[in-house]
Chains A and B, each alone.
Chain A
C-alpha cells in the first residue's frame, strides 16, 4: 500500500463515481423509452405524486434534485443533457431563455392549464405563457419563538446586533439584494453604481451577525438551535416546523417578494409527449392539491383550492390576506446588465 497508488485510486474513484449514472443513462438513451427526466428542488413534490403518475400512464419518472438554483443553472449550462422538465424561478426565466436552455411549452396541448388562477395567467415574467406555474411562496423571516422573545416584525430585525451569530441569510442574490433595496428604498430598476454601493455596505454591515449564508442547511440549524432567526422561503419553514413546532414565520411589515416556481421544458427534450403528459398531470386539481398539502407552499392552481387542507388554506402565512397580498411584489425582471450588477454586488458582499 504505497502512497501514489492509493491516492490516484481515490482520485479516480472520486472523478468516475459521478459519471457512472450518466454513463448508464447514455447506454439506455432512446427516445421511444417511456420515461421523463425531471429536475426539481429538493422537498418540492408530494410523496405519491410521481409513483401515481407512473402507475396511471406507465411512464417512469427519473427524478433528480437540486438544493441551489445557481448550481442547477450551472449544471445545465455546462451541458448536462437528458433532462426533459425542470423547475425554474420566475425571475430566472429570462436567463434560461437567453442561453437557449428551455423551449416554450405549447399551452394548447395542455388541457388543464385553465385550472390556474387569473393571477398566474400571462404574468409579467412570461407574458406568452411558455412555462407553467408550479408553486409559489414568499420570502420572509423564520424565528424560534422560545429563543427570540420579541417576534420580528421588520427586515431590520435581521440587522439587530443583539442577535449576533444567531442569524442566517438565504445564499441567494435575488433575495438578499431585494431586501437591502427594500430597506434602502431603492427601486429594483436601478442601474446607479452608487445605489449598489449602498446596498453592499448595508449587507456587509450585517455580516458580523450572520452565522450562515445558506439556502438549505440553515433549516437543520434552525431545528438544532444553531441559529434562531433566518431569512427563509415560506414553505421550507412550514415543512421544517413539523420537526420543531417552536419555529414561526413572519412576513415583514415592509412587505416582501413573492416568487413563482415554474415548470419549463428543456430545449430538445427527448420525451416531449410524455413530458407534456406529466405537466398536464401536475396541473390536475387533486395532484396539485396533494403537492401543496405536502410541501406547504401555495398552489397557483385555483381548481385545487377546495382540496387544500383547511388549516393551510386559512393560514395567512401561506395564503396571505388581501391586504398583505397587495404589499407582495414579484421580483423585477432584470436585464443582463442589471443582473450583472446584482451578482457583482453579492459577490463583493461574500468577499468582504
Chain B
C-alpha cells in the first residue's frame, strides 16, 4: 500500500503523473470544458417556437449580439467592474500589508475573519445589506434618531448600493492573493533597503511594492473577471437602470427563453476574457 502510494506521489512515471492529475482533470473536463463546448455549439443554434432549440446552425446570434443597443450595457459593466477592482485594491492592499507585516499573532484569526463572509451565501449577505441600507434600515433609522437626517436616504437600488455589494463580495478575492505575494516578499531584502539608507516610503516604493506586483495583478484578475459576469448584485441591490452584462445573459436564459442567444453572449464574454488574458501574458513576456 505504502509502496504504491510512494510510487504514485513520486510521480516519476507518466502513468503516476496522470493518475495524480486524474481527479482535477475529470473535474475540469466534465464541469468546465464539456459544458463550455456545449455552450459554444448551442450559440450557433436557432431559437424555435416557445424557446425550443432548433439545430440549424449559423452566425445569427452573434450578429444580434453586436447590436448597438447593447453597447451601454457593455460600457456600464466595464465601468462597474473597473470601479470595483480599483476599490478592492485601495481597500485590500493596506489590509493585506497589515496582515503580512504587522498583524503578528493575530494574523490567523484575521485571515479567518476575512473568510467568514464566504460561510454564508452571498444571497444572504445581500439581503442583510438590504436591511442595513433600506429606508427604515439600520443606517437611516440611526441617522434620523440622532437628528442628522429628517428624511431617509434611498440607498437601495442605486449605483452606490451595487458598488458596495460588489466590493463587499469581491474584497476577499483581492486580499488573499495580495497577502500571499506580500508574505513572500523576503524581509531580508526590505532590511537591506533600510541598511542602504532607504526610508520606509522609499523601501516600500522601490522594494515591497514591485515585489508584490504579481499579487496585484492576480487580485485585479480575480475581481475584474467575475465582476464582468455578476448579475445577482444588480438583481438584488440595483435598480432597473443599471442592467449589466450578467443580467442581460441571465435574462436570455430565464425570461426570454432564448438559450442560443444567451450562449452566444456568454461565448463572446468568454472569448473576450481569454483573449484579454492571452494579450496580457504576451505583454508580460515581452
Query: Quick check: A348 and B239 within 8 Å, CB to CB?
Result: no
**A110, B177: Cα distance in complex, Å:** 63
Task: Give the residue name and chain of the B residue nearest to A98 (CB).
Answer: B50
CA of A6 to CA of B26 in the docked complex: distance in angstroms?
A: 20
Within 8 A of A (CB), among B133-175: 134-137, 152, 154, 156-157, 173
Q: Does A343 contact B (CB under 8 A)?
A: yes
CB pair B156–A351 under 8 Å, yes or no, is no
| CB neighbours of B73 from chain A (8 A) | 351
Q: Is the interface of B mostly helix, strand, loop or mixed?
A: helix
Contact A15–B256 (Cβ < 8 Å):
no
B156:A226 contact, CB within 8 angstroms: yes
CB contacts under 8 Å to B, within A62-116, are 68, 70-71, 73-74, 77, 94-95, 98-99
Given the known interface contacts A73-B257, A343-B256, the answer about A351 and B157 at a Cβ–Cβ threshold of 8 Å is no
Q: Quote the shortest CB–CB distance from B105 to chain A (angstroms).
A: 15
The answer to whether A1 and B111 have CB atoms under 8 Å apart is: yes
Please give me the residue from chain A that is nearest to B180 by CB atom.
Answer: A3
Is B251 on the interface with A (CB-CB < 8 A)? yes
Task: Mark interface residues in A197-228 (1 if CB within 8 Å of B CB, else 0).
Answer: 00000000001101111000100110011100
A185 within 8 A of B: no
Report Cα–Cα, A70/B134, bound state, in Å: 27
Residue-wise interface mask of B (250-268) relative to A, using a CB-CB cutoff of 8 A (1 in contact, 0 not): 0111111110000000000
Question: Quick check: A343 and B257 within 8 Å, CB to CB?
Answer: yes
Q: In this assembly, does A190 line the interface, its C-beta being within 8 Å of a C-beta of chain B?
A: no
Q: Which of B48, B135, B253 contacts A74 (CB 8 A)?
A: B253
How far apart are A108's CB and chain B's nearest CB, in angstroms? 29
As a 0/1 sequence over residues 203 to 227 of chain B, the CB contacts with chain A under 8 angstroms (1 = contact) are: 0000000000000001000100000
On whether the beta carbons of A346 and B255 are closer than 8 Å, the reply is: yes
Does the CB pair A212–B241 fall under 8 Å? Answer: no
Which residues from B are CB-within-8-Å of A346?
255-256
Smallest CB–CB gap between B35 and chain A, Å? Answer: 11
The residue of chain B having its C-beta at the shortest distance from the C-beta of A13 within the complex is B118
Residue of B nearest to A73 (CB): B257
Q: State whether the Cβ of A184 lies closer than 8 Å to any Cβ in chain B.
A: no
Contact A217 to B50, CB < 8 A, known contacts A173-B255, A207-B241:
no
Give complex CA distance A9, B252 in Å.
30
Is the Cβ of B176 less than 8 Å from the Cβ of A3?
yes
Could you tell me the distance in whole angstroms from the C-beta of A309 to the nearest C-beta in chain B?
30
The interface size of chain A toward B, counting residues with CB under 8 Å, comes to 46
Chain B positions 227 through 258: 1 when the CB is less than 8 Å from some CB of chain A, otherwise 0: 00000000010011101000110011111111
Q: Is A165 an interface residue (CB 8 A)?
A: yes
- The reply to whether A226 and B135 contact each other, CB–CB distance below 8 Å, is yes
Which residues of B have CB within 8 Å of A340?
47, 49
- Which residue of B is nearest A94, CB measured? B50
CA distance A336 to B241 in the complex (A): 29
Chain A residue with the shortest CB-CB distance to B112: A1
Q: Is A350 an interface residue (CB 8 A)?
A: yes
Total cross-chain contacts (CB, 8 A): 104
B101 lies within 8 A of chain A by Cβ: no
How many residues belonging to B are interface residues under a CB distance threshold of 8 Å? 47
Chain A contacts with B in 326-352, Cβ cutoff 8 A: 335-337, 339-340, 343-344, 346-348, 350-352
Residue B70 at the chain A interface, CB threshold 8 Å: yes
CA distance in complex: A337, B255 (Å)? 16
* Interface pair A213/B180, CB less than 8 Å apart: no
B29 at the interface (CB under 8 A from A): no
B49 adjacent to A337 (CB under 8 Å):
yes
Point out the residues of chain A lying under 8 angstroms from B51, CB to CB. 77, 95, 99
Cα(A213)–Cα(B154), bound, Å: 16
For the complex, is B21 an interface residue (Cβ under 8 Å from A)?
A: no
Are B49 and A98 in contact, with the CB atoms below 8 A?
A: yes
Chain A proximity mask over B40-52: 1 for CB below 8 Å, otherwise 0: 0000000111111
Contact present for A6 and B239 (CB under 8 Å): no
Is the CB of A7 closer than 8 A to any CB of chain B? yes
Interface presence of B282 (CB below 8 A): no
A52 to B218, CA, bound (A): 56
Is B115 interfacial (CB 8 A cutoff)?
yes
Which residue from A3, A99, A165, A217 sits with its C-beta under 8 Å from B177? A3
- Digitize A2-29: 1 where CB-to-B-CB distance is under 8 Å, 0 elsewhere: 1100110010001100000000000000
B176 near A98: Cβ-Cβ < 8 Å: no
Chain B residue nearest in CB terms to A208? B241
Which residues of chain B come closer than 8 Å to A335, judged between CB atoms?
Answer: 49
Instruction: Tell whether B69 is near chain A: CB-to-CB under 8 Å.
Output: yes
Q: Are A210's CB and B49's CB within 8 A? A: no
Return B238 CB to nearest CB of chain A, in Å: 9
Shortest Cβ gap from A177 to chain B (Å): 12
Q: Decide: A165 and B154 in contact? CB cutoff 8 A.
A: yes
Residues of B within 8 A of A71 (CB): 254
Bound-state Cα–Cα, A2 to B100, Å: 13
A331 to chain B, nearest CB (A): 15
Per-position binary interface string of chain A over residues 152-194, scored 1 when its CB falls under 8 Å from any chain B CB and 0 otherwise: 0000000000000100000101000000000000000000000
In whole angstroms, how far apart are the Cα atoms of A205 and B236 in the complex? 23
B2: min CB distance to chain A, Å: 25
Contact at B240–A212, with CB atoms within 8 Å?
Answer: yes
Can you show 24 pairs from A to B with CB atoms below 8 A apart?
A1-B108, A70-B255, A71-B254, A74-B254, A77-B257, A94-B50, A95-B51, A98-B50, A99-B50, A173-B255, A207-B240, A210-B239, A211-B240, A212-B239, A217-B236, A220-B130, A224-B134, A225-B135, A225-B136, A343-B256, A344-B256, A347-B256, A350-B240, A350-B251
